[in-house]
Each structure stands twice: as structure tokens, then as C-alpha cells.
Structure 1
């Protein structure tokens, strides 16, 4: 039995069989949403390729190479990633890693370049990668992973063996969560799964971390404000070090309210917030909800893409627009 998670086992096994039969393309591109275990799949493939004591599709996790990979210190393994989570991979770092990758002699008959987030490569970096993929060298492997498509995604995809890693269905994700969390609340679990697009690790993280409490706080505050209060009171909750996450949760609530107006309740995401959703529907008509949804989308986009914006002022401006809508609270 391969020691991976249920939704990864068959994919891993098939990819490794292709490597064993020398049928695998030199460049593998795995595409998956965040929190689906794609990084674990990549690491398992890399570990197997370097392992000296393979047993069929399993790596031994004990040999010298396995230990070096675990310590991220193997001389033939190179990783190209940004220094921090929210920054792009710059051209200087790319050239530095690529120069080492191309010039150093390999000790294990092959080398691997791993890029866990190709969407973080800027245009110059992508052009360098494309040239490398167009002119492959013997015994060179590329393991690429992405969570978001960018404008040059298709060019990279066309030069790789591409595989989209699907999430398990809601039922299977729920059963997996039950093995990780004792006394799991089913309604909370289903909500977390829907908010995470069925990605198991993302759902688990949402339920375990302080994120669940923050989301609950947002929902409670919004409920109180809709009943009687000032929308500007939402500022303290939305204006955090991660406003994108808070606004995304708000967007799902507004979208669910629009769904209720359209009588498509079964597609709602916030399974645990039925009272709040009914309040939104009763207080705000469908056309106003659509306006609100679009305005918050623009706000979200501005915060994501325009550097140097005053975050607090952007959120205040959006809350004022909300107050100007002609409805009773």
C-alpha cells in the first residue's frame, strides 16, 4: 500500500509506473487547487526518483538519498521558489538557480528542478523556463506545480505532461475529515468542505485553525448589523492583515443570498449560516445584492493587484457604498 492519502494513491501509482517504463515525459506539470495535497504528491514522486532502494512504487525513506531529500540537501535536487509566500520569483533568483542547475555535474545520473508555484514566475523567468523545456537535456527532469493559471500557462502546459489533480467529492472528503477530527460537527464540516472547494487539507485547516473563529465572528457581526447597527462597524473585522480572506467569505454569503432569491438553495455554500442568509434575503433585494457582490469583487481585486493602496480607506469606501443602498437595516 502506498503511504499517501486516498485521493492521491492511484494518481501517484500511475505516474510512477510511467517513470518505471521510461514512458514519462521529462517535464511533469501538476495543476491543482490549494489544499488538495498536490505538494505531497510532488514530493513523493521526487523522493521515489532519487531513492536507491525502491520497492515497486514505494521509496524506502531510509537510504542516504531519501534522507538528503528529506533534509532538502540533495546536490542534484534544485527548488525554485520565492522567498516569501506573497512575492513573485524574480529574475535574479531564477538565473542563480538555473546556472547551478545547468552547470553542476550530477552525482546520481540525473537532476531534478522543482518549481512549486509556476504562477509566481514573472514574464522573464517564464521565458527562461520555456527555453529550457524546448531544449531538454539528457537525464534532466522537471517537476512543476501550479494552483492558478496565468497568461503564459498554456505555453508551459504545451511543453509538459500535464495532469489536473481533481479534488475528492464531498462525501469522501467528509469521511477523511472524520478520521482527522474527533467529534466532528457535520454541518461545520460540510460548510468547510464547500468553502474549500472539496480540498481536504484546506477544509481541515479551516476547521482546525483560528480561521473558523474569525469567520464565525464575521458572520455574527454581520447578523447583528443587519438587524440593527452601523455597517461601518464591519471595518474592524475586515481590515485585518488578511482582508482578502475575510472579503472572500463575505462574497460567498452575498452569493448564497442571491441563490436563495433565485430558489437554488441546494447550491449554497454557507451551510451553517441559514439564519444570516435569510436575513440578507429579507433585508436586501436581489438587484441590490448583485450590486453589492460586484462592488466587493472590485474591492477584492484592487487589494490583490494594486500595490501601495491604503487598505483601510478602500474598505471604508466600500462600506459607505453599501450604506448608500436604499434598504432598511
Structure 2
């Protein structure tokens, strides 16, 4: 039923597909997820089932003409909308274009499915244009809106949808998938660390465990071990590759958070389980210094994510110099 061995998606799919099987599917489904938990796979399977014209089961038949069109990515009644390349939002023209089509007759004589990916990127005007269609949906037309769990849709859109949060698998299940299904040869502590750094989203953890990426984190942690005793943060600057500022800042924030947990005798909750000596070293700093460092680096991360055109290198060196001042 679920391809690619994403076993944790079986139960969510069954829950959502049951309503399709019994003709009780809501015309507007909102799926929130933690990125990297197999959300695209789940939505594509649901869309396939909605468009299938021969199945009498939870899964699409994969054999009818409609399924064959979907599998070849040429189904004329399946529409996918997201922000266009180079743009930060989904505009009203995109929504108007699609809403005009959904009132037309289905080309395959079955359902029509519209998937709005990263739905929170809709401008207010675009969301309001969609709202009119959601209030009076045409027959046999289904909308699937999806976005990260931290995103925010307009309350009016939210209220017209059936909301579903895609659960992430348990840590042990994800570790088993990475180890036995993906054949990744890492220690249990390394696998657990990658997952916890990825909010336990298996696909994001798999990306982090790419040998090149994982080695970058390892080197960054080794550099911290030599930098922290002398508070010589400035020397870290040369290790901050331009395209990976966010990664290193995020990694350091997670380590600082772990150091705070260690100081509060809550070590069993640490994320960086493969970097215990580094966490203990950071925990030798005072509570006030760790907190100040955490707030400094976290604020830098927020700026990098929210301000376009920001001079990243200048920001990083500012943060490094301020870190030295905090620790002196």
C-alpha cells in the first residue's frame, strides 16, 4: 500500500483512506507534518486513491487508466500548486487559475484533486480567493492542503478544512528503518542524535547522515572542543562555509540546549547523544553564560531565516565576537 518502505505511514494512510472508501472524505483536507516524515508519499497515495476508478479497497488499484495516468504524472484531473520558482508566496492568479478549472467537467469522468503544497505561503488575497471555492465546492472535487506544523493558515481557511497532523514514528522505529531498511552503518547514539536533531523525521535524518554532511558536523564539534576552553570563538569563522551557516548555528544551539539540560541534571533528555564530552564541556560554563550564548545564536538563526539579502558572513563574525565577550 505504501511504497518505499515507509511503514510508519501505513496507519495514517489507512485512517484517511477509510473515509474515501466509504465516500465520506472531506472535500478539503489539511495535513500538517514535520518535514521529512514522508508527507509527500502519503499525500500522493491519497490523491491516487481519490482518482482511482476501479478500487474497492483502501489502496488504489494501480491498473486502471486513471491510475496509469497518475503514476506517469500526466493525470489531467490532478493539479498541484506551490510557490513558483524565485517567489516566496502563492499568488492570487495561481489560485484563480485552478479554481476556474475545478468547475469544469472532469476529463476522466471521475474526481478532481487539487494539492496546494506549502499552503501557508498563499497571500491573503490568494487565500480569500480559495475560500470562496471551499465554501461552495464543486461536486467530486477534493482539495488537499499541506504545510509544516509550524506554519499558519488564515483561520477562515483552517475552519473549512478537516485537519490532520501526520504523526512521526517512534525513535526506535526510525532507527530500525535507517539501520535495516537504508543500510546506514552508524552507532545507535549517532542514529538517535541524527533523528533528534531532525525532530525524529526519518527522511531528514537520512539526509543529515549523508557521509559528507555528517562529517561536517563531526568536524564542527571537534573544533568546538578545542575552541571552548580558551573561548577562542573567532577561529571558528573559517569553518563556517557560506552555504551552511544555518546548519552550524542550529547544531550549536542544540548543543547549548543540551548543556542546559545537563546542568539541570536532565541528561537523559539530551539530543546530541554522540557528543556527550562536548556537552559536558559546555556545561562547565555558568548557567547565565550558556543562556546568553543560546539567545545570541538562536537570534542569529532567526535573522538568517527571515531576512533576505542579509550579509551572512558579517552576522556570523558578529556572533563569534559576541560569544567571546560573553565567555570572558
Equivalent residue runs for 1:124-273 within 5 Å: 124-179=125-180, 180-208=182-210, 210-228=212-230, 230-273=232-275
Structure 2: stretches of 5+ with no match in the other structure: none
The equivalent residue for 1:110 is: 111
On the 8 A contact 1:27/1:161 being kept in 2, the answer is yes
Per-residue CA deviations over 1:217-276 (Å, capped at 9, x if unaligned) read 211121121244731222233352242222111110111111111111011000001111
Cα distance in 2 between the residues matched to 1:2 and 1:311: 41
| Distance in 1 separating the partners of 2:97 and 2:219 | 45
Q: State the distance in 1 between where 2:239 and 2:92 align.
A: 37
* Structure 1 residues 107 and 151: alpha-carbon distance in aligned structure 2, compared to 1, 3 A threshold: same
Q: 1:222 to 1:151 in 2, by over 3 A?
A: same
Aligned-pair distance for 1:292?
A: 0.8
Deviations 1:69-105 (A, max 9, x none): 2232211111101234883223343333443444565
Match of 2:277 among 253, 268, 275: 275
C-alpha displacement of 1:55? 5.2
CA RMSD across the alignment: 2.2
Query: Structure 1 CA distance, aligned partners of 2:289 and 2:221?
Result: 19
Contact 1:26–1:142 under 8 Å retained in 2:
yes
SS in 2 for 1:113: strand
TM-score (norm 2): 0.91
Q: Which residue of 2 aligns with 1:23?
A: 24
- Structure 1 length normalisation: TM-score? 0.91
Q: Which runs of 5+ in 1 are unaligned?
A: none
What pairs with 1:77-88 in structure 2 (closer than 5 Å)?
A: 77-84=78-85, 87-88=88-89
- Name the counterpart of 1:306: 307
- Deviation of 1:54 after TM superposition, in Å, equals 2.0
Cα distance in 2 for partners of 1:326, 1:5 equals: 45
**Counterpart contact for 2:103–2:138, Cα < 8 Å:** no
